[in-house]
Amino acid sequence: MIAPRSIRFRLTAWYAGTLLAFLLAGAAAFDAVMREVLAREFARSTASSLTAVRGFFRLEVGEYHWVDTTVAHMATEVFFPDRRVTFLRPNGETFVPRDTTFRIPVVTLAPPVRVVESALDPDLAPGWRVRVESSAAGMQDAITRIDRSMAIAIAILVVVSAAGGWWLTGRTLRPVRDMAEAAERISAASSSGRMPIDDPQDELGRLGARFNALLDRLDRALVQQRQFLAAAAHELRTPVARMRSQVELALQHEPAAGAGDGEHDRAVLAAMDQELGRASLLVNDLLQLARADADPHPARLERAFLDDVVVDVAQTWRAAARRRGVTLELEVIQETPARIDAVLIARLAGILLDNAIRYTPEGGRVAVRVMPADRLATLEVEDTGIGIPEPERDRVFERFFRGARARAAAPEGSGLGLPIARWIADQHHATIALLAGRDGGTLVRVTFPLAA
């Protein structure tokens, strides 16, 4: 069944309607010209008949001498199959021969009839007139046949053209139909299908290529989301399992009466508090990434001093550095204006300092530098820790990825810090790079546009 609202039907209808309009306009113009030409030719033919009658009179009057005799003779001699010739006396009466030997032939004319009248000859027959009556039925029949033929030809041409247009639009829109059918087969569970492309150079091919690129991005997002959820579930399961183990051990423990009960309870609560703290940090990181995915541009950039924000954050990490026996130094701190979101930059600096302190062995050193250079604001955090192998320096920005050295040095890590740091840098149109430190550790360099 043909759907009237389908693009194929509408294109065919527009094509057939436009063609019909042009054909009707052309037929109307042709009909008008044809009628004018036929009418002019009919008038010329009638005038020629009148001229012929007058010329014949001038020839015959020399032989018969009298006008009546000449006209009587002519009335019986002059004959046209579709025309009637009548002679009029000077008083306006129709000439009828008195001599019965002259028999005027009777001519019946089919309507419509055109009449042309003129003087017979002002010199030889003063006052006499000749009238020629012509039937236009033949001309009207010709016009009718031509009009009928044109109507049939236009109808056949429109029908054939509409059929051809229907076939042509079907072939043209077949890639669209194929892409629609392919799109119906694509779902979240089966997202590997793509739009078929016949010609990547035409408009439909470029449209299909754009849709396929969009599907590739959506597919990657779905894969990333599944990996994210699986990794998050795995990371959250570990601290929960540890807390359940602590609770089960506490329930199974039967200490002797006395002060030992309280010490054991405090140890269990301390272990659970530690695991809850790790779970809380993990949940906060997951929440931060979820907000980043929901609102890709939450940063509110304002002119501020990068050095002030970094110094404030570094002061809060001095106690953690002392507990691990690591020296935290503000090596180079220069006044550095930049367009930043102070809250996000504080989180960025905290992530970099946390990683540097966590993966630097006791007795190591962490250096912080903030300085302007070449219309750029630079933040550097360098440590003397375990370092990051060069093949892993790009992968550490993937969510939940942790290298072998990092897992060995700090098994409790989640692998979400540097992805958050990369996202914060992107919000500030900044670049973040991991380089080899001078003493085998890691140098993290974040470069911001410098504020005017």
Would you say residue 283 has pLDDT above 80? no
Secondary structure element (H or E) that encloses residue 18, with its range:
helix 7-64
137/223 same-domain check: no
pLDDT band of residue 7 (cuts 50, 70, 90) is: confident
Q: Is residue 321 part of a domain?
A: yes
> Which amino acid is it at 288?
Q
CATH of the domain at 384: 3.30.565.10
| pLDDT(88) > 60 | yes
**218 vs 55 pLDDT, higher one:** 55
| Residues 431, 311 within the same domain | yes
More confident residue, 223 or 39: 39
Quote the percentage of the chain above a pLDDT of 70: 75
Report the helix count and the strand count for the chain, using DSSP H and E. 10, 10
- Residue 286's φ and ψ, nearest 5 degrees, are -65, -40
Pairing of strands 125-135, 337-340: unpaired
Residues 32, 137 within the same domain? yes
Q: What is the 3-state secondary structure (H, E, C) of 90-107?
A: CCCCECCCCCCCCCCCCC
- Of the candidates 211, 219, 275, 220, the one whose C-alpha atom is nearest the C-alpha of residue 246 is 275
CB 359 within 8 A of CB 388: no
Q: Residue 128 falls within a domain, yes or no?
A: yes
φ and ψ of 377, to 5 deg:
-105, 130
Q: Which two tokens stand for residue 373?
A: 């250079």
Q: What's the whole-number average pLDDT of the chain? A: 79
The reply to whether 307 and 255 lie within a common domain is: no
List, for residues 373-408, the tens digit of each pLDDT value.
Answer: 888 899 999 999 888 888 888 888 887 677 777 777
Q: Which residue has the tokens 């025309």?
A: 83
Top pLDDT among 281 and 356 is at: 356
DSSP string, 429-447: T-EEEEEE-TTSSEEEEEE
The listed range with the strongest mean pLDDT (198-202, 282-286, 417-421) is: 417-421
In this structure, the answer to whether residues 443 and 404 fall within a common structural domain is yes
Tell whether 231 and 318 lie within a shared domain. Answer: no
Q: What is the CA radius of gyration of the chain?
A: 53
Same domain, 278 and 311: no
The whole-number pLDDT of residue 326 equals 92
- Give 139's strand partners: none
Structure tokens at 381: 């955090």
| pLDDT, average across residues 125-151 | 87
Q: Please tell me the predicted confidence (pLDDT) of residue 314.
A: 93
- Cis peptide leading into 112, omega within 30 of 0? yes
CATH number where 240 lies:
1.10.287
Residue 395: C-alpha distances to residues 193, 357, 389, 416, 422 (Å): 28, 21, 10, 12, 12
Q: Are 222 and 215 in contact (CB under 8 A)?
A: no
Say if 171 falls within a structural domain: no
What's the pLDDT score for residue 75? 75
Q: Is residue 82 part of a domain?
A: yes
Give CA–CA dist 326/19, Å, rounded.
87
Instruction: Please report the pLDDT score of residue 408 as a whole number.
Output: 72
**pLDDT, mean of residues 399-428:** 77
327 and 210 belong to one structural domain: no
In a domain, 430, yes or no: yes
Torsion of CA 300, 306, 310, 312, to 10 degrees: -80
| Residue 184 belongs to some domain of the structure | no
At residue 226, the pLDDT reads: 64
| Domain-ending residue, one of 270, 294, 318 | 294
Tokens of 300: 């509110």
How much is the average pLDDT of 266-288? 64
- Examine the domain organization and report whether 274 and 345 are in the same domain: no
State residue 389's pLDDT score: 84
* Least confident stretch, 75-89, 249-263, 298-312: 249-263
| pLDDT at residue 296 in the model | 58
pLDDT score at 87? 84
CATH code, 110: 3.30.450
Higher pLDDT, 239 or 19: 19
Residue 81, burial from CB neighbour count under 10 angstroms (0-12, 13-18, 19+) = exposed
- Identify the pLDDT of residue 311: 94
The rounded Cα 121 to chain-centroid distance in angstroms is: 83
- Rounded to an integer, the average pLDDT of 427-433 is 90
User: How many other CB atoms are found less than 10 A from the CB of residue 61?
Assistant: 20
Q: Using 50, 70 and 90 to split pLDDT, how confident is the model at 1?
A: very low
Q: Is the peptide bond before 449 cis (omega within 30 degrees of 0)?
A: no
Provide the pLDDT for residue 371: 92
The whole-number pLDDT of residue 369 equals 94
| Structure-model confidence comparison of residues 279 and 318, the more confident one | 318
Say which residue the tokens 């199959």 belong to: 81
pLDDT score of 452 more than 70? no
Of the two residues 288 and 358, the one the predictor is more confident about is 358
User: Could you tell me if 385 and 361 are in contact, meaning their C-beta atoms sit under 8 angstroms apart?
Assistant: yes
With residues binned 3-state (H G I as helix, E B as strand, rest as coil), the percentages for the chain, rounded to 5, are: 60, 15, 25
pLDDT of residue 241: 67
Whose CA is closest to 356, among 310, 395, 423, 400?
310
Query: Residue 181 pLDDT > 70, yes or no?
Result: yes
Final residue in a domain of this structure, among 294, 328, 352: 294
Residues 82 and 98 placed together within one structural domain of the fold: yes
SS (H, E, C) 66-97: CHHHHHHHHHHHCCECCEEEEEECCCCCECCC
Does 122 share its domain with 207?
Answer: no
User: For position 77, what pLDDT does the model report?
Assistant: 72
Under a CB-based contact definition with an 8 Å cutoff, are residues 360 and 383 in contact?
yes
Return the HEC string of 21-50: HHHHHHHHHHHHHHHHHHHHHHHHHHHHHH
Q: Is residue 207 part of a domain?
A: yes
Which residue range is the domain that position 246 belongs to? Answer: 203-294
Q: What angle do CA 391, 396, 401 make, to 5 degrees?
A: 110
**307 and 436, same domain (yes or no):** yes
For 327-344, what is each residue's pLDDT tens digit? 999 998 999 999 998 888
Say if residue 189's pLDDT is above 60. Answer: no
Name residue 19's amino acid: L
pLDDT attached to residue 307: 93
Residue 189 located in a structural domain = no
Number of structural domains in the chain = 3
Domain boundary among 126, 141, 156: 141
**What's the average model confidence in pLDDT over 159-185?**
81
Spatial contact of 434 and 396, defined as CB atoms under 8 Å apart: yes
